[in-house]
Amino acid sequence: MKYLVTGATGFIGRFLVERLLARRAATVYVLMRRASSAKMDALREALGADEERLIPVWGDITRDGVIDATAREELAGTIDHIFHLAAVYDMNMTDAEADRVNNQGTANMVALAHALANESRRKPVFHHMSSVAIAGADYEGVFTDDMFDVGQQLHHPYYRTKFESEAIVRERAQVPWKVYRPGMVVGHSKTGQIDKIDGPYYFFPAIKALRDNLPKWLPLLGIEGGRMPVVPVDYVVEAMVHIAHKRSGEGQAYFLIQPDPPTAGAMLKTFVRAAHGPDVIHNLPSQQWSAATERQIKQLVGRLPMAGWVEKRLAKTMGIPVSILGYINNRAIFDDANTRAALSGSGIHCPKLSDYAETLWRYWEMHIDCDVEVPATLVRRVSGRVVVITGASSGIGFMTAKKMARAGATVCMIARNPDKLEETRAIVERMGGRAFAYPCDLSRLEAIDECTATILRDHHHVDILVNNAGHSIRRAVFESLGRFHDYERTMQLNYFGAIRMIFNLLPSMAKRRAGHIINISSIGVLTNAPRFSAYVASKAALDAFSRCLSPEVASRNIHLTTIYMPLVRTPMIAPTKLYDYVPALTPEQAADMIVDAIIDRPKSIASPLGTTAQVSYAMWPKLNDFVLHKAFHMFPSSKAAQGYAGRKTQPEKPDIRARLLAAILPGPYW
């Protein structure tokens, strides 16, 4: 089977080409401009495709004929399917750009399909990527697969040209055709992969700001809005490829959407929850009046002085295009009857947004959200310096690596998983930083020796060591009587692993008479948190070691800082479900504490609550024990710990008393 694909290096196109190449004996011709040849090389490398199965065809869809006569002659009568995906999707596009690419480009591709048809064999099937946008932004009611021109209003260039380009296929195509109308395409439901900010992603920075600045329990008000036809890219591609190869259903359109899509309010609430932001959101109904009334209100508001300027200014401040804000109250309900019938029995279905929203959020936060701010004082402190960070492939370590790289440091990233570490290293380099990956299992002393030797061989010295890697176990002592190994492995990583790093890098620091060692401890060392005897003991040992070492190396200009880190929302705490209901720092806030440590080089950094707890325990230890005893019984053990202790498992969700205590005393590991 032979395919010709336009837009193959675009977001959907890359997944489509990968899926087509997975079919037996498939050959994929990719139509692109010669100026984009580097993208072709990157696509082939990313997919691991050989030159005989993934073949470039040089051309331009905006040019008459698209490809030269020689290429047309070579391809004539050989292509089974043409997938036309190339289009402009920018919501800030101009009318001229939209017409040139979306409309003229489609007309040229339809003409090329005719030129490649051969009457002696089955004509190529023309597959056109349209959009739910063909219904316009103001349509009210059900819009089915079979509906097209129903008098809808099409004001925006994107909506207008998606409608007109589909009309070109319907009216001019003399080969079999199928049209696909995906909704708001988001990242891959399994990996979260996305390559641009679009649709709901415009709201992610605002969601992040809510999460970072408001307590999780704070009630918020939102609007319900209209239905948001969100759809992951993997479903779009799987459904399109399956429908494309069915011999029936030609001359039809197929909506590619989630069944029963969420409202705008429900969608934002889902993403806020995925970001671990405020979880109490009440949405107010926003569709109490008809679409006609809403249009009249918009027209009246539009006549007010400077209304357009205010609208654009608001959109610019929020970082959200006006057209996206206008779609929040979408009144169209899309019916994908043709799609459901075509996919019946295939096992292909669109997952619910709630099932993969956290995957989308994590990918965005790690790969796309690279707007890292660093103070000028940090740049002066670390620019050109070598900084080693353990546990650097996620959470606090990864965010710290971002900040160090942005400040001009050479970052040596250490973590156990080589693939994950290389992925995060590449992200840091894409930000313009200088980063190196050193895979190492920090629970093995010989692995640490080899890793530090390699770092010193590569960089000759280390200026700053951030001992961030750690392992936490939340289990009461009576639930651990048969699990002594929990204490051994926690001490091995958190204490012995950290001081082995120090031992190996200390001589080079002493020789240069300069160095800074930062140990990430825990607020539990100050609060004596119950259920964390293994974790807190290992961190307390590292704390004591650092206090003893500090006066020994002061004359060598080596500084030691201990950070008593409060609870941070990282992958380490994710398995403990009750932490979804208690306040916690974000990795960025935690990384800012490390930044402060590097700039000021204090002996220690603790939250106000941690300092208060330390003073309180020194003065009133019995009172502290009383409070912690009550807290111990307020917060449930994990299901695994309950099961091991032979008790009937109880929900991990804390009750209202525990949530109130956590809100009053934020930060401890309860």
**332 lies in some domain:** yes
Mark whether 456 and 605 lie in a shared domain. Answer: yes
Mark whether 344 and 393 lie in a shared domain. Answer: no
Cα 670 to Cα 666: distance, rounded to the nearest angstrom? 10
Beta-bridged to residue 516, according to DSSP, are: 464, 559
189 vs 221, higher pLDDT: 189
Mark whether 337 and 423 lie in a shared domain. Answer: no
Q: Mean pLDDT, the chain, as a whole number?
A: 87
pLDDT at 638: 66
CA 51 to chain centre: 32
Mark whether 311 and 429 lie in a shared domain. Answer: no
648: confidence class by pLDDT, cuts 50, 70, 90: low
Mark whether 148 and 230 lie in a shared domain. Answer: yes
Q: Pick the last residue of a domain from 293, 328, 359.
A: 359
Q: In the 8-state DSSP scheme, what is residue 134?
A: G
pLDDT at 312: 58
Two structure tokens written together for 248: 């029936």
Cα 95 to Cα 85: distance, rounded to the nearest angstrom? 19
- Find the angle CA(576)-CA(220)-CA(217) to the nearest 5 degrees: 30
Q: If you average pLDDT over residues 613-630, what whole number do you get?
A: 79
Beta-bridged to residue 436, according to DSSP, are: 412
- One-letter amino acid of 203: F
Mark whether 314 and 411 lie in a shared domain. Answer: no
Residue 123 three-state SS: coil
Q: Which domain holds residue 564?
A: 380-664
Q: What's the pTM?
A: 0.79
pLDDT at 306: 55
Mark whether 196 and 133 lie in a shared domain. Answer: yes
Question: Over 80: is that where the pLDDT of 44 sits?
Answer: yes
**Which of 185-189, 215-219, 414-418, 434-438 is predicted with the least confidence, judged by mean pLDDT?**
215-219
**670 lies in some domain:** no
CATH of the domain at 418: 3.40.50.720
Q: Pick the last residue of a domain from 359, 393, 412.
A: 359
Mark whether 305 and 394 lie in a shared domain. Answer: no
Segment 238-265, tens digit of pLDDT: 999 999 999 899 999 999 999 999 998 8
- Find the angle CA(10)-CA(16)-CA(18) to the nearest 5 degrees: 105
**343 lies in some domain:** yes
Q: What is the DSSP string of 268-288?
A: HHHHHHHTT----EEEEP--S
Catalytic residue among 535, 564, 581, 669: 535
Contacts of 279 (CB under 8 A, 6+ apart): 216, 217, 272, 273, 580, 581
Strand order in the sheet with 27-32: 54-58, 27-32, 2-6, 81-84, 125-129, 177-182, 252-256
Question: Over 50: is that where the pLDDT of 47 sits?
Answer: yes
Cα 314 to Cα 627: distance, rounded to the nearest angstrom? 48
Query: Is position 617 annotated as part of the catalytic site?
Result: no
Contacts of 45 (CB under 8 A, 6+ apart): none
pLDDT at 650: 56
Q: How buried is residue 647: exposed, middle or buried, by Cβ count under 10 Å (0-12/13-18/19+)? A: exposed
Q: If you average pLDDT over residues 383-411, what whole number do you get?
A: 94
Two structure tokens written together for 66: 């698209």
**434 lies in some domain:** yes
Mark whether 499 and 636 lie in a shared domain. Answer: yes
612: confidence class by pLDDT, cuts 50, 70, 90: confident
Number of structural domains (the chain) is: 2
**370 lies in some domain:** no
Cα 629 to Cα 642: distance, rounded to the nearest angstrom? 18
Segment 382-396, tens digit of pLDDT: 999 999 999 999 889
Say if CB 144 and CB 335 are below 8 A apart.
Answer: yes
**413 lies in some domain:** yes
Contacts of 454 (CB under 8 A, 6+ apart): 438
